[in-house]
Amino acid sequence: MYQSFQEIIEIEKKTGKSFWEIIRDNDCQEMEITPEEAFLRMRNMYEAMREADTSYDPSLSSASGLVGGDGAKLEEARKKGSLLCGSFLGLVMEKAVKMGESNACMRRIVAAPTAGSCGVLPAVFLSLEEEKGYAVEEMTKALYVSAGIGGIIAQRASVSGAAGGCQAEIGAASAMAAGSVAYLLGGGGEAIAHAAALAMKNLLGLACDPVAGLVEVPCVKRNVIGAVNALTSADMAASGIRSRIPPDEVFDAMRNVGRMLPEDLRETGKGGLAATPTGIAFRENLKSF
């Protein structure tokens, strides 16, 4: 597992291999499988994301009743052309909410990197494939890029809301997606690293405050901001914009911020939105069931 973006960028320069190939080769070494087997495993992961998206059921609600049907509302608004964000971003928003709702309704999803942030990567990837016509093979390579970014974040900081707040879940997913999009836009390791850093900087310090301790409110809707943030960050990086703070230092800062967050803002359901009068009422009502 690689410890830094700089390490991967240096390997790129020395070997001529792309970011995704470096991550795939590392995967092969760890799993003791061939490149072909590794690629098929990753492609199957991508297809599982697609299946989770296409099998969305708007009639379902979570056991708490807090989540369900909102993805269909976004789909309807998008098809009517009433979204200010336009058709493409509307599609991204729609898919992010649908995936988050599917998770809350106990449907099969891909944790990327966590179940609570499962909507970010699929929303970005599937929407881009549909909009730009990328081949599945290219999307699979991009998923390797996201895996590499997630690995670095896990090594330098955390992908656990309990350890680092929601910056470690939605923030990490957004950084993973941003770097992957930078790759799809033709960027190498430097652009990928800076896209991920720009995305994380925007969500640094994000609290993890699940109402009633459930991965539903505000988690599902936060997938939307993670997905949209990934796209804007990738566009900035592809345009040549660079983070003034080096990417590896950004994720070190993420680790330190996570440690400074009080326990009430790290997945305990005690602070933030969970501590509002309405949040407390939801929690107490659920106890009665």
Q: Which two tokens stand for residue 277?
A: 């009068």
Q: What tens digit of pLDDT does each residue of 255-282 get?
A: 999 999 999 999 999 999 999 999 999 9
Q: Is the dihedral of CA 76, 80, 83, 87 positive or negative?
A: positive
Contact 182, 237 (CB under 8 A): yes
Q: Which two tokens stand for residue 243?
A: 């983070």
Spell out the domains of the chain, with CATH numbers in brackets. Answer: 5-287 (1.10.4100)
Q: What tens digit of pLDDT does each residue of 136-170 get?
A: 999 999 999 999 999 999 999 999 999 999 999 99
Measured distance CA(69)–CA(59) in Å, rounded = 6
Confidence grade of residue 289 (pLDDT, cut at 50, 70, 90): low
Q: Which of 112-121, 224-233, 280-289 has the lowest mean pLDDT?
A: 280-289
Residue 5 amino acid letter: F
Q: Which two tokens stand for residue 120?
A: 């970010």
**Which of 162, 154, 116 is closest to 263 using CA atoms?**
162
pLDDT of residue 287: 80
The answer, yes or no, to whether residue 14 has pLDDT greater than 70, is yes
Share the mean pLDDT of the chain.
97
pLDDT of residue 179: 99
Contact 189, 19 (CB under 8 A): yes
Measured distance CA(17)–CA(183) in Å, rounded = 13
pLDDT of residue 26: 97
Q: What tens digit of pLDDT does each residue of 44-78 get?
A: 999 999 999 999 999 999 999 999 999 999 999 99
The answer, yes or no, to whether residue 288 has pLDDT greater than 80, is no
Residue holding tokens 């297809």? 47
**Average pLDDT for 6-17:** 98
Measured distance CA(231)–CA(196) in Å, rounded = 10
Confidence grade of residue 1 (pLDDT, cut at 50, 70, 90): confident
Dihedral, CA atoms, 119, 125, 127, 131, nearest 10 degrees?
170
pLDDT of residue 165: 98
Residue 65 CA, chain-centre distance (Å), reads 24
